[in-house]
Structure 1
Amino acid sequence: MASLNVSSVLVVLFLTCGAVMATKENDQIIKENNCESKMGLLCVLEAFTSIFSTGSISNKCCGELVVLGKVCHSALVKRTLENPLFKDLNPATIIAKSIQTGNNCLVLIDSPSPST
């Protein structure tokens, strides 16, 4: 019985340390790359709605998301998922939507605009 309690405590400790390390890693990436200053607030809200809810992202905000870069984009999404307010969301679904949004923006920004 005592070994079961010790094992349970070790598992909880391991999981907690892993979550704290992930948070610190994302925070460090965000800080080192100045991620929070690379997009305007309106575009952050558009991207957030597109990824965490249902909505679209404008061409202008797609441009800002592409400039933000994949490293910042990924770290910001992962940090948001660590917030207890979003604990009921499926991380795999959100990460997939995040990648899809980023890829759609890359295609949109990289494609030549039609001539008028």
Structure 2
Amino acid sequence: MESLNIYSVQVILFLTCGAAMATMENDQIIKESNCETKMGLPCVLEAFTSIFEIGSISNKCCGELVVLGKVCHLAFVKRTLENPLFKDLSPTTTIAKSIQTWNNCLALIDSPSPSA
């Protein structure tokens, strides 16, 4: 029985350390990649709404999101999911929405513009 308790403590420590490392990793990515300076606040709010709530993202903001880059985009999403305010959100659903938003923006930016 004692070995079961030790095992439980080890699992809890592993999970706790893993969560702390994930937070540090996302913050480090954001800092090292200068992510916070690459997108204007109005577009940040549009992207946030399209991922964490119900809304869409404009073509202009899709352009800013693609310039932000996928690494920064995913680091911001994961860091937001770590915030206790968003504890009720499903990480799987939210990450799927973030990938869908990214792919939609990427397709929009990569598609040729119609000639005038």
Q: What TM-score range do you get, normalising by the shorter chain?
A: over 0.9
- Residue 81 of structure 1: aligned partner: 81
- Residue 97 of structure 1: aligned partner: 97
CA distance in structure 1 between the partners assigned to 2:88 and 2:31 by the alignment:
27
Q: Post-superposition shift, 1:78?
A: 0.6
- Residue 70 of structure 1: aligned partner: 70
Gap regions ≥5 residues in structure 2:
none
**Number of residue equivalences:** 116
- Residue 109 of structure 1: aligned partner: 109
Gap regions ≥5 residues in structure 1:
none
Q: Post-superposition shift, 1:5?
A: 2.1
Counting aligned pairs with the same residue, the percent is 83
CA distance in structure 1 between the partners assigned to 2:70 and 2:20 by the alignment:
22
Q: What does the per-residue CA deviation read over 1:30-86, in whole Å, with 9 as the maximum and x for residues that have no partner?
A: 100000111011100000000011100001100000000001001111111111111
Q: Post-superposition shift, 1:21?
A: 0.7
- Residue 48 of structure 2: aligned partner: 48
Q: Post-superposition shift, 1:3?
A: 2.3
Q: Post-superposition shift, 1:87?
A: 1.2
- If the length of structure 1 is used for normalisation, what is the TM-score? 0.95
- If the length of structure 2 is used for normalisation, what is the TM-score? 0.95
User: Which amino acid letter does the alignment assign opposite residue 6 of structure 2?
Assistant: V
Residue 89 of structure 2 aligns to a residue in which SS?
coil
List, as ranges, runs of 4+ consecutive aligned residues in structure 1 with deviation greater than 6 Å: none
CA distance in structure 2 between the partners assigned to 1:21 and 1:41 by the alignment:
28
CA distance in structure 1 between the partners assigned to 2:8 and 2:87 by the alignment:
22
Q: Post-superposition shift, 1:28?
A: 0.7
- Residue 58 of structure 1: aligned partner: 58
